[in-house]
Amino acid sequence: MDQDKQKQITGYFIEEAKEHLQTIESGLLNLQTLMGDAEAVNEIFRAAHSIKGGAAMLGFSSIQHVAHNFEDYFKVIRENTNFKVDQDLQTLFLQAFDKLQELVEHLQSPYGLTKDAVDGVMAGSDQIFANLKAHLQNLISGKPTEVQPKSAIKSGSKTPKIDTKAMLTAFQAEVPLKLRNMLELFKQPDSPRSRQNLESICTQLQEIGDRFGLSTWSSLMESVRIAVANPNNQFRTLAPTLIKEIKQAQEQVLAQKIDQVKASSQLLQLIPASLVEKVDTTIPTKVISSKPDNTSADEVSKIFGAVIEEDKAMKGWQTFSDRVGWRQNGTWIASNATSPQSPPEGHFPTPLWLAAWHQSKDSKAKEFQAQYAALLAKIANCNIN
């Protein structure tokens, strides 16, 4: 088969596989209700079977292997419907699903399904399926399931040694995928199902921390989940705060500054007061007061908005900056630019660069945050009658 024809057929397979993945994910996020619907279980079984068959035909053995496991375990569910699904079973299925989805995404990428990509994704997959098999058999047989969070440490026992390499790999590969899924859900209309799906992603993120005993990360993800579950929080409020919170925590974990991971005052404001101490008792109540004692970089971000990697947010900043003159003819004004005219009364004397708020994108971001923080602190101290 010539290369162009092979590429065309692979493209067809990817598009079909992505549709089947949507079917599988939707079913897994509603696994408990799925158990009473034989046709829905069959639909997921057929989706996994179709991915397996297409992958086998094209020689994608890693995708075939994972899809085959999925097919087998949904066959077990199809033949055994008289058992209660628990959170651990759903989590294990979703971990396995992530492996399958990542393989298809690598296949679609410009580099394709390279050996390094396959090795990275498949690391730990056999253990996931082994755990899934054992847990599923215990549920069906009615045996007690001895599943406990991996972060739990028995009294008097030594702190478990963290596999740093595996941890960094997980946070580099799995967390960005969850963030993309969250962004897609935030773009959808607010509905009970959307919130349920968001909560499931939070649970999956929390499980990543449990896997490596990262109690600070797991606690933060529980805070994020509670914020999502609060119906008083609208999506347009949740999205920038939660995405920023998770990305910042991910960066801290990757920098191995795990002890610095904690909920910010902005996140705690999205949690009912009665639950704040439950999710983070280390943060004083005054931190979440609506009238903070001093202005921090987080308060600045709340007032001016945090730039996140989303077209809608970026376009909003560009429109605003065009209006106030921070951009001219579609180009951002440099922070050291000078104007031949005096600024109007009440305006900043120098235009500031806000195209990239985070230090990772703009080396002067921290400087500008400090300038705004100082300005707002002075304004707060003014005696205005």
pLDDT at residue number 311: 45
Q: Quickly state the pLDDT bin for 322 (edges 50, 70, 90).
A: low
pLDDT at residue 230 is higher than 80: yes
pLDDT of residue 193: 82
Confidence band, pLDDT 50/70/90 cuts, at residue 245: very high
Q: Read off the pLDDT of residues 184-193 as tens digits, 9 standing for 90 and up.
A: 888 888 888 8
In percent, the amount of the chain with pLDDT more than 90 equals 21
The confidence band for 367, taking pLDDT boundaries of 50, 70 and 90, is low
- How far, in Å, CA of 164 to CA of 253, rounded? 10
Residue 145 or 215, more confident? 215
Superfamily of domain 3-141: HPT domain (1.20.120.160)
Name which of 271, 290, 266, 179 is nearest 231 in CA terms: 271
- Can you give the residue ranges of every domain in the chain? 3-141, 164-288, 297-337+350-381
What's the rounded Cα separation, in Å, for the pair 316 and 320? 6
pLDDT of residue 147: 45
**346 or 370, which is more confident?**
370
Handedness of CA 190, 270, 224, 105 (dihedral sign): positive
Bridge partners (DSSP) of residue 327 are: 332
Res 36 pLDDT > 70? yes
Q: Given a cut of 60, is residue 342 above it in pLDDT?
A: no
d(CA 194, CA 202): 12
Residue 159 has pLDDT above 70, yes or no: no
- What's the whole-number mean pLDDT along residues 265-273? 86
Amino acid 346: pLDDT? 45
Reading the block at residue 125, the tokens are 């997959």
Residue 332, H or E segment: strand 331-332
Q: Model confidence over 52-98: pLDDT tens digits?
A: 999 999 999 999 999 999 899 988 888 887 888 887 888 888 888 88
Which residue has better confidence, 107 or 81?
107
Looking at residue 286, what DSSP letter applies? G
pLDDT at 31: 81
- pTM metric for this prediction: 0.46
pLDDT at 242: 93
pLDDT tens, residue by residue, 177-222: 788 888 888 888 888 888 888 988 898 898 888 888 898 999 999 9
- The better pLDDT of the pair 371, 353 is held by 371
Residue 261: per-residue pLDDT: 92
